[in-house]
Structure 1
Amino acid sequence: MIFIETNLKGAFIIELDRKTDERGFFARAFCQHEFRDHDLRPVIAQANIASNIRKGTLRGMHFQYPPAAESKLVRCTRGAILDIIVDLRPESATYLEHISVELNEDNMRALYVPERFAHGYQALRDNTDTSYQVGEFYTPQAEGGLRHDDPRLGLNWPLPVSVISSKDRAFHLLHEVEDEV
């Protein structure tokens, strides 16, 4: 695996280190030792899959409050997404900064999302699937989220939102929950 650190401390884009021959290629997609060597949390409590029928579908911006804060390893296995993460650690030099990364079935890259980051993505193609390995169990009472269109976050989504859940649409603006994050 090739770990590319982003400007948000602890957040990495992970490229496959492909070993190619006449059959195609082989690549390691996860290794506890390599994650630990990069000071990442190499724990998988759950593995999840999301299917997005229509391009423009938006999921996010999700997180879990401590003590159930979760890390995520997100990969697009079919189609394409624009994945955005926001640093919610008030003690961080990059507090409220974000990055966006295109993950798609061709580049096969993954995004490692550290604990205490908000995460969301938009499907760029119809019939897009994502896979998540999550470092903490889903804890409904610790579930949190921010509005995808919060002007303070300044997130730029490439397509009009075609589908979004009522739960995601009802998330609060940051200024309404900032003391809790």
Structure 2
Amino acid sequence: MKFNETSLQGVYTIDLEPRGDDRGFFSRVFCRDEFAELGLETNFVQFNTSFSRIKHTFRGMHYQLGKNAEVKVIKVVRGALLDVVLDLREDSPTFGKWTAAELSADNRTMMYVPRGCAHGFLSLTEDVEMVYFVSAFYDPENERSVRWNDPKFGIELPFEPALISDKDAGTRDFDPAWHLGKTA
């Protein structure tokens, strides 16, 4: 695996290094030792999948607070999407900044999202399926989301979402007290 730093501290794209022959190829998508060498999370408690049938479906920007703050590693297994990460770590020099990368079944690139960052994605094709590892269990009380078009952050998508859940579309404007868990 080749770990590529992004413009956000602690956020990486990961390129696989397939070894192939006439039959096809083999590649690791996770190696505890390689992740640990960079100080990245090595303990994952769930492997999840998400499927978006319609092109330009947007999901996100989701994250969790406190002990349920999670690391995510995202890999697309069918189709293509634009993966977006927003840094909401108050002590980070890249707080409030975002980055994005195209992840696809063809390029096999993965995204590493550290704790304290919101994550979302826009499907670029129909029938997009992704798998992702998470380091913490889902906790609805500590779940938060940021609206992708909140003017505070200026996230730019290449296409207006064609489909977005009412919950994601109705997320409130960024409020540090609520979004960062400073009040109940």
- Which bracket does the TM-score occupy, shorter chain normalised? over 0.9
SS for the counterpart of 2:164 is coil
State how far apart, in whole Å, the 2-side matches of 1:42 and 1:49 are. 19
Show structure 1 runs of 5+ residues with no match: none
The one-letter code sitting in structure 1 at the alignment partner of 2:18 is R
**Cα offset, 1:7, TM superposition:** 2.1
| 1:46-65 paired onto structure 2 within 5 Å | 46-65=46-65
Q: Report the RMSD for the aligned CA atoms in angstroms.
A: 0.9
Query: For residues 56 and 7 of structure 2, what CA distance do their matches in structure 1 show?
Result: 27
The percentage of aligned residue pairs carrying the same residue is: 37
Structure-1-length-normalised TM-score = 0.96
Distance in 1 between residues matched to 2:129 and 2:159, nearest whole Å: 17
The count of residues paired between Structure 1 and Structure 2 equals 179
2:177 aligns with 179
Shift of 1:10: 1.1
> What is the distance in 1 between the residues matched to 2:43 and 2:102?
24
**What is aligned with 2:68?**
68
The CA deviation string for residues 144-170 of structure 1, in whole angstroms up to 9 with x for no partner, is 001111111111111121111111112
What secondary structure sits across from 2:73 in the alignment? strand
Secondary structure in 1 aligned to 2:102? strand
Partner Cα separation in structure 1 for residue 131 and residue 92 of structure 2:
28
Q: CA deviation at 1:32?
A: 1.0
Runs of 4+ displaced beyond 4 Å: none
Tell me if 1:35 matches 2:11.
no
The answer to whether residue 105 in structure 2 is matched with residue 105 in structure 1 is: yes
**Secondary structure, counterpart of 1:44 in structure 2:** coil
Once residues 108 and 22 of structure 2 are traced to their aligned partners in structure 1, the CA distance between those partners, rounded to angstroms, is: 19
Q: Which amino acid aligns with 1:51?
A: F
Distance 1:160 1:4 in 2: 28
- Structure 2 length-normalised TM: 0.95
> What are structure 2's unaligned runs of at least 5 residues?
none
For residues 15 and 35 of structure 1, the distance between their equivalents in structure 2, rounded to whole angstroms, comes to 13
